[in-house]
Amino acid sequence: MIIKRSILSAAIAATMVMGISGCSDSGDSAPSESAPAPAAAPAAKAPAATAAPKVATVAHVDTATATDGPSLSAADFERAKNLYFERCAGCHGVLRKGATGKNLEPKSTLELGQERLEKILTYGTEGGMNNFDDIFSKEEISLLATYIQLEPPVPPEMSLAMMKEATKTFVDPKDYPTEPLHGLNWQNFFVVIERDAGTAAIIDGDTHKIVTHIDTGYAVHVIKATEHHNTEHPVGGVAGRFWYTMGRDGRMTKIDLWQTPEKMLVAETKIAYDARDVAVSGDGKYVIGGGYWPPHFVIADAITMEPLKVVSTRGVNIDGEYVNESRVAAIYTTPDESTFLVAAKELGQMWQVDYSDLDNLNIVKIDSAKFLHDGFFDPTNRYFQIAANASNKMVVIDTKTRKLEAMIDTTGKKPHPGPGANWDDPKYGPVSATTHLGTGMVTVWGNDPKGTPENAWKIVREIETDGAGVFVRTHPNSDFVWADQTKNPEPEIQQSVQVISKATGEIVKTIQVTTEAGKAALHFEFNKDGTEVWVSVWNRADASNPTGEIVIYDAKTLEEIDRIKGLTTPTGKFNVYNRTNHVT
């Protein structure tokens, strides 16, 4: 039996109403913690197209009706759905309406057809999409190309009661130690995301030795700590002691760096099926997690991890259109205010959420641009600078006035600063910078409206690099700015990073971090005193094994110092001292 796309969608909607396990997860969750799968069916089909796409050999095809469009068996549909979740949903959305990536609804993909879609998945695009030929097999690429020509399944919602049921305590707060139990310099620890292993590695920054691997959510996107706050002090501990992870499966975990290695994971909860970011209030009382699906944010007790409040981010965007999938991207704590910053990605709004009274939550919604993704503060901690990457803008929010300060149009496509970089340019004064997902460029702008108003929020340098990148980073004690080139499809460029002089704005060195096939170089973090730069080597083609590594360079001579091996897809790295003290 072949089920047409419209009938399949109606069946999914009906099973949601009846409460049967008839909906997919959000596309990114780990198989072991996925949301209910779509209703079982012998096959799923797309509507007829003018030119019927070539159907992959792995797809189930009824030869009598193949001209009606592509189809997948129920098993292949489920398999492709999980592949899409793990690698595609973050940029293109659960419902495939597009954001950082293009719209992938059937109205768009059917026009391209099977063969063209397979080529795009295989080789990537100049606009910033990676090649996937070193991650997916040809069979998987064919499956995905067919899958995105079918109607996307709609995931279920998640209630506060479901979140509370998922909350677990591994170490009771009353049993937390009053001093570190391991005798190590925990303030120079690095907390490292091991993306595909679903773990976080704790590495001693003094000895370069791995302390432990901690079970976290699948494909953790961000890890943040209790930070130094200018008006508040964390209860129950010191800044930098407790770290919180957010996995793409919505699992939010709490890590205590004072514990012995085997007890560092102290609690967890689950706030969504698909999520990206987390932050901790300045007083250490609350932790906030943002969901991609369901589109909402959740405020939990930072001590016990019990979810307390859920706020939907669905609403009307800056164009006056209602958005059902308004995902929460970046979340940050404002260092000078008792507020969280929440990026409502598809709405094009920054929400400044006052957490001083949860029962009467005060939210200021600041219109800016779509699609808000990741950002960082200026050195004064007053201005938050965030990429609206698909709009090719950097948005600046004044957290003191809670208003839009400026929007900077970038010539580089899809700005993506990651943790960002701030420094003093000898010609232009205080500046900030971003890399771009779609252009080999580091864009630099002035960030000091008080000291250098003539350059404030204006682009002062555009530094051409060899390839599009994801992360840029520096340190106050360093003479250089580091930029990766992960989004370029050429292996040699993917594997190389470029080092830029703060004094001249020129690239002074290109470093090929690895030459191994299927590996890429990305993300930077300095040690506490800024004398070392740590660069991740991501084992893209062998993501299930600990064949990734971190390469450490002397921040002054730019020469290699050491390699830390035994890591699985190491991605973001977070030095306790630097992140706790807002060192950018």
Judge whether 583 lies within some domain.
no
Judge whether 203 lies within some domain.
no
CB contact burial 58-94 (16+ within 10 A = b; e otherwise) = bbbbeeeeeebbbbbbbebbbbbbbbbbbbbbbbbbb
- Domain span at residue 89 reads 5-147
Span 457-472, pLDDT tens digits: 999 999 999 999 999 9
CATH code of the domain in which 53 resides: 1.10.760.10
Distance CA 239, CA 88 (A): 35
Q: Which of 122-131, 529-538, 558-567 has the lowest mean pLDDT?
A: 122-131
Mean pLDDT of 344-366: 97
Domain tally, the chain: 1
**Residues pairing with 397 in the sheet:** 384, 404
In the DSSP assignment, the letter for residue 456 is B
451 pLDDT higher than 50: yes
In the DSSP assignment, the letter for residue 225 is E
Contact 248, 90 (CB under 8 A): yes
17 pLDDT higher than 50: no
Mean pLDDT of 89-108: 84
Mean pLDDT of 218-222: 89
Judge whether 514 lies within some domain.
no
Span 377-403, pLDDT tens digits: 999 999 999 999 989 999 999 999 999
Mean pLDDT of 83-105: 82
pLDDT at 127: 67
Which of the residues are catalytic?
Answer: 88, 91-92, 129, 373, 416
Judge whether 478 lies within some domain.
no
Judge whether 15 lies within some domain.
yes
Judge whether 37 lies within some domain.
yes
Judge whether 346 lies within some domain.
no
Share of the chain above pLDDT 70, in %: 88
Distance CA 543, CA 549 (A): 12
Judge whether 57 lies within some domain.
yes
Distance CA 152, CA 12 (A): 10
Span 108-131, pLDDT tens digits: 899 889 999 888 888 887 666 878
pLDDT at 54: 31
3-class state of residue 450 by DSSP:
coil
Residues with Cβ within 8 Å of residue 564, at least 6 apart in sequence: 203, 208, 209, 210, 549, 550, 552
The number of residues in the chain equals: 584
SS3 labels along 233-296 = CCCCCCCCCEEEEECCCCEEEEEECCCCHHHCEEEEEECCCEEEEEEECCCCCEEEEEEEECCE
3-class state of residue 385 by DSSP:
strand
